[in-house]
Amino acid sequence: MHNFTQVKDRKIRVAVVGCGRIAKNHFASIVKHSDHIELVAVCDIDPVVLTATTQENGVKGYQHLEEMLQNEQLDLVVLCTPSGIHAAQAQLIAKFKVNVMTEKPMATRWHDGVNMVKACDEAGVRLFVVKQNRRNATLQLLKSAVEKERFGRIYMVNINVFWTRPQEYYDSAKWRGTWEFDGGAFMNQASHYVDLVDWLIGPVESLQAYTGTLARNIEVEDTGVVSIKWRSGALGSMNVTMLTYPKNLEGSITIIGEKGTVRVGGLAVNEIQHWDFAEADSDDELVKSASYQTTSVYGFGHPLYYKNVIDVLRGEAEPETDGREGLRSLETLIAIYLSARDGKRVSLPLDY
């Protein structure tokens, strides 16, 4: 294992690459943790976006990642760029011996994800993959129930993501809706739900998927279904569409077990709608307070995610979601796409 460099006696110096939609959550999280972390630079290929962002945050701006890495003393670089270029960028950052945090999905191709982990290992730097939804109070309670084995044997799991993304959303940037840079409804919009498949329920034995591009003018799927068999014997399915009329309807997970039934729903798994176990537990008191109002499908997890990253870089914690953890949901995603493409059941692991 590596002796990672720790940053204890000063603030962690961070730069953000890609100043689009999701970057705002990162800037807000950095401000929230300003005792321990400071934004020192931003990078974006669009000069207009770059100028606006540098003025807003009062930091230096770069159009080229390599130039920024050469000129700045950085501890961490955050990738909020199109998913398909995360791999090349992460490998470049690792060469400069700087830690990497990447938005989801970590990559759009399996070998890209594997190469990212390898490059960061070899450089002795950390690779963090943002999974902020895991920090939501509702999912933390659900994870706790699974870990305490309150369900007994889990029989069935159903995940629904019934959201809306209009054509304008895909048209807002050239990379959106492409195989190379984005991936479709499963890989981009619903990837945090695909993450629940392994994180909550455990290793997948096999899956079979169908995907369709039913209404949007894009390369990738706007709708898909997947049937899943876990190694534990549990069976389940995931249903995803970006075509819900007229607006986002639900992001939910239902777990049916021998001694418990739970449904967490709402727009983005933000409401515990059903919570019924044979045996009581102190967690049951927390159910009412765990549900929260949300208008954003991103949830409120980014600042909590940053707390773990800061603690890790200060040498005070282990990473919750590192590159290897990121590969687990990427593997499920790639299996879904292979299954849909080839019309066959795909078994995991993909390679060994």
Segment 224-234 mean pLDDT: 98
Strands 154-162 and 250-257, sheet pairing: antiparallel
CA neighbor of 35 nearest in space, from 317, 300, 309, 310: 310
pLDDT of amino acid 292: 81
Segment 82-98 mean pLDDT: 98
- Asked if residue 294 has pLDDT above 80, the reply is no
pLDDT of amino acid 3: 79
Is the pTM value of this prediction over 0.75?
yes
Percent of the chain with pLDDT over 90: 94
256-281 tens-digit pLDDT: 999 999 999 999 999 999 999 999 99
pLDDT band at 247 (very low <50, low <70, confident <90, very high): very high
What are the helix (H) ranges across the chain?
23-32, 47-57, 65-71, 86-95, 110-123, 137-147, 167-171, 191-201, 287-290, 302-313, 323-342
- Asked if residue 20 has pLDDT above 90, the reply is yes
- Asked if residue 235 has pLDDT above 60, the reply is yes
pLDDT of amino acid 348: 98
**Alpha-carbon span 110 to 106, nearest angstrom:** 10
Segment 59-77 mean pLDDT: 98
pLDDT of amino acid 22: 93
Q: Is the sign of the CA dihedral 195, 196, 200, 206 positive or negative?
A: negative
- Asked if residue 100 has pLDDT above 80, the reply is yes
CB 128 within 8 A of CB 103: no
- Asked if residue 1 has pLDDT above 60, the reply is no
pLDDT band at 301 (very low <50, low <70, confident <90, very high): confident
Segment 28-40 mean pLDDT: 97
CB 159 within 8 A of CB 253: yes
- Asked if residue 2 has pLDDT above 90, the reply is no
pLDDT of amino acid 295: 60
Spatial strand order of the sheet with 250-257 comes to 271-277, 260-265, 250-257, 154-162, 235-241, 223-230, 204-212, 346-347
pLDDT band at 148 (very low <50, low <70, confident <90, very high): very high
